[in-house]
Amino acid sequence: MATQSSQWNNNTAFLLAATGSAVGLGNIWGFPYKAAENGGGLFVLLYIFFVITLGFPVFMAEVFIGKKGKSNPVSSVESLAAKSNSSKKWGIVGYAGILASLIIAGYYAVIAGFVIDYGFISAQGVAEGTAKDIWANQQSTFFDMTFWTVLFIVGSCYVVANGIDAGIDKAMRFLLPMLFILVLAMVGYGAYQGDFNAGINYLFSWKADDIETTGQAAAIVQAAIGQAFFSLSIGMGTLMAFGSYMPSSQKVSKASGVVVTADTGVALLAGLAIFPLAFGLGLDPKEDAFGGSALVFETMPEAFAQLGVIGQVVGPLFFFLLAVAAFSSMISILEPSVAFLTQKFSMSRMKATGVILLVCISLSLVSIAGHNVWKDVSVGALDNPFEFMKYFADDFLLLLVGTGMSVFVGWRLQKVIDADTMGISSTTMMNLWVFILKWVSPIFLMTIWTLGNLQVLFEYDLLDKIINLF
Ligand code: TRP
């Protein structure tokens, strides 16, 4: 049984791969609509706050487990557990991460499929006033959706099958610069064509009167934390896998700092690309069409339609940007499970990728059906299988795994943590990091996790009940 990972063959590979992973649909599709749904500026401020106070420390914990464990997410956790006289059961954290990664892959690919589809739709031109019908129509066709989704999955599996240097590193070297240029181009266009001041104002000003109830406040906090973790790719083994390929000379803290900064920067830039355009055309974020997928697949196409011929150029450019971002993230979503299969079951990379390809396609069919044939098949309190997969992975599993890693590193690995691997020379900083992992992040994450799940799954507003006691 081979469990040792190979290594990136250079020092920038981790930075590129982890940034490519972090910057994805979560930044460009997710962040702007969540900001719009949660009252703009306040959400953005909370998001930045949680990225720094919880996201960054837990991000480092996950990379550390990978770098020290030098293996796939499950074996890394298990071998570090053995090293620290902890139970082998900690491996569950790795397994839960892999489960989350497969479910995310199954719905992420569907959104990415829409993105490719919309690249072509917007190139052909959309007539004003028709974007809403087009969006409804695109979701109703099971076979078309399957075509775009499978195309995307096969493409990302092709890169992963080629290995970490010839596949992932090579692809990232090309995709990431393109992504940054495209984001900047979109921001530039938004500033030139749209209402830049209104955009900035909306994203960065604090409107406390938007919050009316405690339940609402808790929901905004939960959304901000969930978004911070998802956007940073925390909680399903991506960072452990990429960390395990890190050369020993690279330091966890510095490398993590670069990735976290780049990811947050791109989310804010995506907001600065989308909102000025939308405001410039008189669209209102309080309208329904701003929520969820509708922002990118309904509001933006409508905005491009109003631009006429220019929209036929800017529109495809925007969807191309989204596709590039989604592609580099999808590669990283597939890597943990492929690494797991190759190392635990001594499979060739080719064969392991083939297995994961089939799993992914099967799961994606369920989430595609959630848009049409199973649209009304609710799962628990969630509307359909697509919403269920999204919720179960993003809001349920990721925070659990994040807490697990935080507790594992903070409480069990104290003797294993070393200043050299981390690249943290100040004892104060080191103690602060461990303190956050031990206390702050588990308590905070589990509180939010409990409140959020009670609310969503059982419609029970615990916070409100507690406040009413006083
Ligand atoms: N962070 C990516 C995005 O913003 C998605 C992603 C890739 C991810 N790998 C992950 C999310 C691991 C959670 C865990 O779109």
For residue 40, what pLDDT band results from cuts at 50, 70 and 90? confident
Q: Is the CB of 364 within 6 Å of ligand 1?
A: no
Question: pLDDT value at position 205?
Answer: 84
Out of 156, 230, 264, 338, mutate this one to test ligand 1's pocket (max ligand atoms within 8 Å of CB): namely: 230
Instruction: Determine the distance separating the centroid of ligand 1 and the alpha carbon of 126, expressed in angstroms.
Output: 31
What single letter denotes the amino acid at residue 403? T
Ligand 1 atom nearest to CA at 263: 4
Q: Whose CA is nearest to atom 10 of ligand 1?
A: 233
Q: What is the pLDDT of residue 98?
A: 98
Q: Is 96 in the pocket of ligand 1 (CB under 6 A)?
A: no
Cα torsion through 277, 282, 288, 290, rounded to 10: 10
pLDDT tens for each residue of 385-438:
999 999 999 989 999 999 999 999 999 999 999 999 999 999 999 999 999 999
Q: What pLDDT score does 212 carry?
A: 67
Confidence of residue 347 (pLDDT cuts 50, 70, 90): very high
* Cα(167)–Cα(187) distance, integer angstroms: 30
- pLDDT, mean of residues 279-299: 82
User: Does ligand 1 have an atom closer than 6 angstroms to the CB of 236?
Assistant: yes
Which residues, at least 6 apart from 276, have a Cβ–Cβ distance to it below 8 Å? 190, 191, 193, 194, 195, 196, 198, 199, 200
* Ligand 1 mean position, distance from CA 24 (Å): 7
Ligand 1 centroid distance, CA of 395 (Å)? 13
pLDDT digit string (tens) for 45-64?
A: 999 999 999 999 999 999 99
51, 229, 329, 405, best to mutate for ligand 1 pocket (most atoms within 8 Å of CB): 329
Q: Provide the pLDDT for residue 210.
A: 63
- Asked whether residue 216 carries a pLDDT value surpassing 80, the answer given is no
**Residue with CA at minimum distance from ligand 1 atom 13:** 233
More confident residue, 287 or 309: 309
29 close to ligand 1 (CB < 6 Angstrom): no
Centroid of ligand 1 to alpha carbon of 21 (angstroms): 6
CB 72 within 8 A of CB 290: no
460 pLDDT tier (thresholds 50, 70, 90): confident
Contacts of 407 (CB under 8 A, 6+ apart): 437, 438, 442
pLDDT at 74: 98
CB 230 less than 6 A from any atom of ligand 1: yes
Residue type, 253: S
N-term to C-term CA, the chain: 59
Point out the ligand 1 atom lying closest to the alpha carbon of residue 27. Answer: 4
Atom of ligand 1 nearest to the CA of 325: 15
Q: Counting atoms of ligand 1 from 1, which one is nearest the CA of 234? A: 14
Percent of the chain exceeding pLDDT 70 equals 97
Q: Which residues pair with 44 in a beta bridge?
A: none
What percent of the chain has a predicted confidence (pLDDT) above 90?
A: 80
Residue 283 — pLDDT band, cuts 50, 70, 90? Answer: confident
Per-residue confidence (pLDDT) for residue 208, from 0 to 100: 61
CA of 218 to the centre of ligand 1 (A): 23
255-275 b/e with 16+ CB inside 10 Å = b? Answer: bbeebbebbbebbbbbbbbbb
* Closest residue by CA, ligand 1 atom 12: 233
> Rounded to the nearest whole angstrom, what is the distance from the C-alpha of residue 470 to the centroid of ligand 1?
40
What's the Cα-to-Cα distance from 20 to each of 133, 173, 178, 341, 363, rounded to whole Å? 33, 9, 11, 23, 23
Cβ of 332 closer than 6 Å to ligand 1, yes or no, is: yes
Of 104, 168, 337, the residue with max ligand 1 atoms within 8 A of its CB, to mutate for a pocket test, comes to 104
The answer, yes or no, to whether any atom of ligand 1 lies below 6 A from the CB of 27, is yes
**Cα 231 to ligand 1 centroid, rounded to whole Å:** 6
- Which amino acid makes up residue 321? L
Residue 462: what pLDDT?
A: 84
Between the CA of 342 and the centroid of ligand 1 the distance, in Å, is 22
Regarding the beta carbon of 31 and ligand 1, being less than 6 Å apart is answered no
The CB density around residue 391, as the number of other CB atoms within 10 Å, is 21
- The 10 Å Cβ neighbour count of residue 136 is 10
Distance 108 CA to ligand 1 centre (A): 9
- Report all structural domains of the chain as residue ranges with CATH numbers, in order of start: 13-469 (1.20.1740)
In the chain, the largest separation of any two C-alpha atoms, in whole Å, equals 65
Probe ligand 1: pick from 63, 103, 236, max atoms within 8 Å of CB? 236
Looking at the CA of residue 21, tell me the nearest atom of ligand 1. Answer: 7
Q: How far apart are CA 428 and CA 441, in angstroms?
A: 18
| Ligand 1 binding pocket includes 25 (Cβ within 6 Å) | yes
